[in-house]
């Protein structure tokens, strides 16, 4: 795993060194650079495979193809054997070396050969073109900006920012959507002029022009698998294969263990495949939270069952407040949701470089509220509200929120999906400063509508899961998984997002994923082959810190101090009186405002850090509009 960066412009060794050094946390083991009159490439390496010979950048045999790459290719052994059979000469067992040779064989279609998580830059010297490629699900990030026929790219925004004398202005569209989602959706970033590659996307930069192409999308199947036994057997087989692939490493591999279904099943299968004791890592809390204690107990029980070396990190509210600047530095953008991986990865980094995670299982197998209400809403729209009221089993598993489901069923899905966010469009227009121009052109509802129209699955539940895989998975889940692990130089692997397993999951009917009211039913049937019922049937929690509890109590003074009119007037993006009203109402007992207050608090913390206290001196301005 590495951090990569580069640019197409006149050589500038100082800038290249600075951009590369900014990614040291992603690859503390080695630094490599490559420069030509046209192109400069940099890499920071976290040594995982072929520790002695895996230095980047790497080239083809004749030097005409140069590659820097962040990630892991899990089918590398098979690809290596095939390339050698085709006459290619390989000098290492490092997966990076495969890429220039695969490019020689297949050109820009080389990514179809890869099973893995990756962000890749390929410089084709003969054709004078750069090809940037992001993996299918968006597990690894890649950002870029262009100006005046020049291109800059990097694994993290902070590296690109070094190419500007001043920070780019805030992208108001990105801010607008952040206020609903709690994160910035791709391809936007919080900075004007800097973009993110989309999952499954390539951009080809040639003669100063960008061509975008999508090489993979979430598939849909007309004839869905509806046989439970067939589905369980095949899923078991694919999950074992994915985990086996992702144990490819020349250094020890651990597992993040929350005590929930996804991570416990990961431990059960991994422990069978490994020959040495497995290390597992769990986050626990100094404060006594009733809803968190069962998590800790379950994780310890799974560890005992599979005789793992179990390690725990005890998190406190003071640690979170103290580390917020480091967390926002890791994201480079405002982010107001899961932060707990930062703390468990502190512990992981002291013991292993690589950890498997259960991320992605919720999106694949049906867990979120949007998944749970999809079938009941479909039933109401298909059979009518009167019929469903007479047959309440059609509301399963949403009987307890029946009135809410009936209400949502009167809307189009893009409307109710947007309502699940923090600030609605109308609320944002009231919150944001009237001095800002062009806000009326933005609509998060229309953005959601556009993305849902791209979804090709007709099954009601699979449609909602596809939407989440296109949006929340890369921008939220995989975002915090990557950034908060790499901040500690830890590589996280996500076997549930092996693309062959993902393709299979979307070939299975939605009612086998949430079945008779049981969320993740299909995955649970696999888990019953490995785990006791008390683990399989536990309520879900996951690696989520109890921020809501702390926000109402020990965080109050920090939130009030951060959201003062004086601090807000530094940027004049929000109307201070509206923010003050929200804070007052929240601390007067209107607890349903917690996400609104936290979203504003996180934005202001990020803004104070990056715009009010710059600590690095940038090089000559290129990316600033």
Looking at residue 162, which CATH number applies to its domain? 3.60.20.10
User: Chunked in runs of 10, what are the mean pLDDT values of the chain (625 residues)?
Assistant: 92 97 96 96 93 90 95 96 94 94 96 98 97 98 94 97 86 98 98 97 95 94 92 98 96 95 97 94 77 80 97 92 93 95 96 97 94 94 95 92 93 92 95 93 96 94 96 97 97 98 96 93 97 88 65 92 96 97 96 95 94 49 32
Domain boundary among 486, 513, 536: 536
Same domain, 205 and 232: no
**pLDDT at residue 166 in the model:** 72
Task: Look at residue 270 and tell me if it is in a domain.
Answer: yes
**Other C-beta atoms within 10 Å of 456: how many?**
14
**pLDDT at residue 543 in the model:** 47
Same domain, 461 and 519: no
Q: What is the CA radius of gyration of the chain?
A: 24
Spatial distance between the Cα atoms of 26 and 28, rounded to a whole number of angstroms: 6
Same domain, 162 and 26: yes
Residues 6+ apart with CB under 8 A from 50: 92, 93, 94, 250
Task: Look at residue 542 and tell me if it is in a domain.
Answer: no
Same domain, 278 and 408: no
Spatial distance between the Cα atoms of 168 and 165, rounded to a whole number of angstroms: 9
- Parent domain of 361: 228-365+472-536
**pLDDT at residue 548 in the model:** 73
CA contacts within 13 A on the Cβ side of 275: 0
**pLDDT at residue 623 in the model:** 34
CB 609 within 8 A of CB 325: yes
Spatial distance between the Cα atoms of 207 and 222, rounded to a whole number of angstroms: 42
For 581-590, which contacts have Cβ atoms below 8 Å and span 24 or more sequence positions? 583/559, 587/552, 587/556, 587/560
Domain boundary among 484, 516, 536: 536
Q: How many domains does the chain have?
A: 4
Task: Look at residue 541 and tell me if it is in a domain.
Answer: no
CATH number at residue 480: 3.40.50.620
Same domain, 332 and 451: no
Helix 576-587 to helix 594-612 angle, to the nearest 10 degrees? 130
CB 593 within 8 A of CB 582: yes
**pLDDT at residue 620 in the model:** 35
Query: What is the three-class DSSP state of 40?
Result: strand
Task: Look at residue 297 and tell me if it is in a domain.
Answer: yes
**pLDDT at residue 616 in the model:** 38
| Among candidate residues 52, 45, 98, the one with its CA nearest the CA of residue 74 | 98
What is the pTM (predicted TM-score) of this model? 0.94
What would the two tokens of residue 273 be? 């495949």
DSSP assignment letter at 278: P
Same domain, 602 and 581: yes
Same domain, 118 and 180: yes
Task: Look at residue 261 and tell me if it is in a domain.
Answer: yes
Task: Look at residue 223 and tell me if it is in a domain.
Answer: no
Same domain, 49 and 192: yes
Task: Look at residue 622 and tell me if it is in a domain.
Answer: no
Same domain, 554 and 522: no
The strand pairing partners of 508, in sequence order, are 225
Domain boundary among 426, 444, 470: 470
Task: Look at residue 378 and tell me if it is in a domain.
Answer: yes
Same domain, 258 and 341: yes
Same domain, 519 and 376: no
CB 356 within 8 A of CB 243: yes
Same domain, 522 and 451: no
CB 188 within 8 A of CB 195: yes
| Among candidate residues 420, 413, 441, the one with its CA nearest the CA of residue 429 | 441
């Amino acid at each position: 795993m590495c951090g990569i960066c580069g640019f197409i412009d006149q050589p500038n060794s100082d800038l290249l060194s600075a951009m590369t050094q900014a990614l040291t946390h992603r690859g503390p083991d080695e630094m490599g650079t490559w420069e030509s009159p046209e192109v400069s490439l940099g890499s920071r390496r976290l040594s995982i495979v072929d520790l002695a010979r895996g230095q980047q950048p790497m080239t083809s045999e004749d030097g005409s193809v140069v590659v820097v790459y962040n990630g892991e290719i899990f089918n590398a052994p098979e690809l290596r054997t095939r390339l050698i059979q085709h006459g290619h000469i390989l000098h290492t067992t490092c997966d990076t070396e495969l890429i220039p040779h695969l490019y020689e064989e297949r050109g820009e279609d080389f990514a179809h050969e890869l099973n893995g998580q990756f962000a890749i830059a390929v410089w084709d010297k003969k054709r004078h073109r750069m090809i940037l490629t992001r993996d299918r699900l968006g597990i690894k990030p890649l950002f870029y900006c262009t100006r005046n026929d020049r291109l800059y790219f990097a694994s993290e925004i902070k590296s690109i920012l070094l190419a500007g004398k001043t920070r780019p202005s805030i992208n108001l569209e990105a801010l607008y959507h952040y206020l609903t989602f709690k994160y910035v959706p791709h391809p936007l970033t919080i900075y004007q002029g800097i973009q993110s590659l989309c999952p499954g996307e390539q951009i080809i930069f040639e003669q100063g022009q960008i061509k975008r192409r999508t090489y993979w999308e979430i598939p849909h199947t007309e004839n869905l698998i509806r046989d439970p036994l067939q589905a369980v057997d095949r899923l078991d087989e694919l999950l074992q294969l994915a985990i086996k692939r992702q144990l490819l490493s020349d250094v020890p591999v651990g597992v993040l263990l929350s005590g929930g279904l996804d991570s416990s099943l990961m431990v059960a299968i991994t422990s069978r495949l490994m020959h040495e004791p497995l290390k597992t890592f769990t986050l626990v809390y100094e404060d006594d939270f009733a809803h968190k204690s069962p998590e800790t107990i379950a994780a310890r029980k799974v560890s005992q069952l599979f005789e793992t070396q179990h390690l725990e990190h005890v998190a406190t509210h003071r640690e979170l407040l103290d580390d917020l600047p480091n967390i926002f530095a890791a994201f480079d953008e405002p982010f107001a949701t899961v932060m707990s991986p930062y703390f468990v990865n502190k512990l992981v980094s002291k013991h292993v470089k690589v950890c498997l995670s259960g991320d992605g299982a919720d999106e694949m197998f049906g867990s979120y509220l949007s998944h749970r209400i999809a079938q009941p809403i479909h039933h109401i729209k298909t059979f009518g509200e009167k019929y469903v009221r007479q047959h309440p089993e059609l509301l399963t598993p949403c009987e307890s929120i029946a009135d809410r489901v009936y209400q949502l069923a009167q809307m189009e899905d893009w409307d109710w999906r947007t309502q699940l966010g923090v600030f609605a469009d109308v609320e944002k227009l009231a919150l944001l400063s009237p001095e800002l121009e062009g806000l009326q052109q933005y609509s998060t509802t229309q953005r959601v509508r556009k993305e849902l129209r791209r979804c090709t699955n007709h099954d009601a539940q699979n449609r909602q899961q596809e939407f989440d895989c296109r949006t929340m998975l890369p921008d939220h889940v995989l975002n915090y998984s990557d950034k908060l692990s790499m901040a500690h130089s830890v590589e996280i692997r996500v076997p549930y997002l092996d693309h062959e397993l993902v393709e299979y999951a979307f070939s299975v009917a939605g009612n086998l994923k949430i079945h008779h009211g049981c969320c993740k039913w299909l995955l649970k049937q696999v888990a019953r082959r490995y785990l006791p019922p008390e683990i399989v049937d536990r309520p879900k929690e996951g690696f989520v810190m109890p921020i809501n509890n702390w926000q109402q109590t020990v965080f109050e003074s920090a939130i009030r101090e951060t959201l003062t009119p004086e601090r807000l007037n530094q940027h004049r993006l929000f109307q201070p009186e509206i923010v003050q009203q929200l804070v007052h109402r929240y601390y007067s007992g209107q607890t349903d405002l917690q996400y609104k207050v936290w979203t504003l608090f996180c934005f202001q913390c990020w803004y104070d850090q990056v715009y009010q206290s710059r600590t690095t001196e940038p090089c000559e301005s290129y990316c600033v509009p």
